[in-house]
Amino acid sequence: MQINKLWLIPAALLIAGGIAFAATRSTPPADLDYSLSHRSDGGLYQVTLVPSIDPVPVGKMHAWLVEVADSNGQPVEAEIVMDGGMPQHGHGLPTVPQVTGKDHHGRHIVGGMRFNMPGWWVLNVDIDGSAGADTATFNLAL
């Protein structure tokens, strides 16, 4: 009779595997703002992101443009650092993006961006400009 219970082992493994899989595929919060142009977290700047490849690719190195404007929409001089990660996976970007210059509209060019898996990503732009230091936070669904 005991042999009949052996099926429980693969069944349990399947269930455990399913839970682990579901954990890596968990859905992001429903109320996320996916806009790529909005105020920084402290309200000091209007920040607009433009990916060089749209739709944003997974696994491919590319660049982003970052425009930093004041509350009236006028471009401002600022130092920026772009970073990001996946909140539900506990990891950051697989690369260290760098500002490589500006385009003819005065937008910062951030090179070395790569997303190594689909899912919910958060991008943080740390800004040090004339109005002070602030961070702009963006959500991406890849």
Please give the residue ranges that form the binding site for Cu ion (CB under 5 A).
86, 89, 117
Shortest Å, Cβ 89 to Cu ion = 3
Q: Which is nearer to Cu ion, 97 or 129 (CB)?
A: 97
How many angstroms separate the CA atoms of 98 and 108, rounded?
10
Shortest Å, Cβ 67 to Cu ion = 27
Q: Which is nearer to Cu ion, 62 or 89 (CB)?
A: 89
Q: DSSP string spanning the chain? A: -GGGGTTHHHHHHHHHHHHHHHHHTPPPPTT----SEEE-TTSS-EEEEEESSSSPPSS--EEEEEEEE-TTS-B--EEEEEEEEETTTTEE-SS--EEEEE-TTSPEEEEEE---SSSEEEEEEEEEETTEEEEEEEEEE-
Q: Which is nearer to Cu ion, 15 or 61 (CB)?
A: 61
- In this structure, are residues 61 and 97 in contact, taking their beta carbons and an 8 Å threshold? no
Shortest Å, Cβ 41 to Cu ion = 23
Shortest Å, Cβ 86 to Cu ion = 4
Q: Which is nearer to Cu ion, 14 or 117 (CB)?
A: 117
